[in-house]
Chains A and B, each alone.
Chain A
Amino acid sequence: DAGVIQSPRHEVTEMGQEVTLRCKPISGHNSLFWYRQTMMRGLELLIYFNNNVPIDDSGMPEDRFSAKMPNASFSTLKIQPSEPRDSAVYFCASSLRWNTEAFFGQGTRLTVV
């Protein structure tokens, strides 16, 4: 099993640009989570999906952030326009279903300059 796959691993972009982060969950998993990790705020849950449907997006910091899951094997997190304070490591995780073990990807380190 390849595990959760995220791309890119690193992204450096200029303030104001659009950024798209990608995630491929483990095959057969029905729940998908997006987290942001910073030194100050730790691991914050941004949004999660169940069966491709967004269940709770209350952690999305602003309207500049949006996430989609068009099918069971792909999800995106988009920031438009990006700002320097968005710099962080963004993780995607998936689980077989709610309330079960969640497995993480290796993350995308985003730097907005």
Chain B
Amino acid sequence: GQQLNQSPQSMFIQEGEDVSMNCTSSSIFNTWLWYKQEPGEGPVLLIALYKAGELTSNGRLTAQFGITRKDSFLNISASIPSDVGIYFCAGYMEYGNKLVFGAGTILRVKS
């Protein structure tokens, strides 16, 4: 089963709006990664977070590594049509070294 709880499951927003999604777990993670996947392609890395409390930006994207090391969020500001896709959180578990993924957030943008 899923070890990462990602929400929301999907979003349908107006172009220009800000977007926020998050991942939580009962387990501790050493690293959080955020990916975007488009149809027919593999997930593409957006942001990597390595320390609790770390806040990192990549253009209009901002992500944070939760203080408890059990959660992370991703914000997208001023969404545009090309932001459409599925966004995944992923994390390396503290024990077992596994890189596990959330179920994904489907983002649709109407222009």
Contact = CB atoms under 8 A, between A and B. Distances in A.
B76 interface: no
B45 A103 contact: yes
Contact of B101 (A42, A56, A105): A42
Bin the interface of chain B by size. 20 to 34
Contacts of A4: 42
Contacts, number: 56
Main secondary structure of the interface of A (DSSP, over half): strand
B23 interface: no
Interface in A79-98: 91, 93, 95, 98
**A: contact size bracket:** 20 to 34
6 contacts: A48-B99, A56-B98, A98-B97, A99-B50, A100-B31, A101-B45
Interface of B: 2, 30-31, 33, 35, 40-45, 48, 50, 88, 90, 92, 96-104
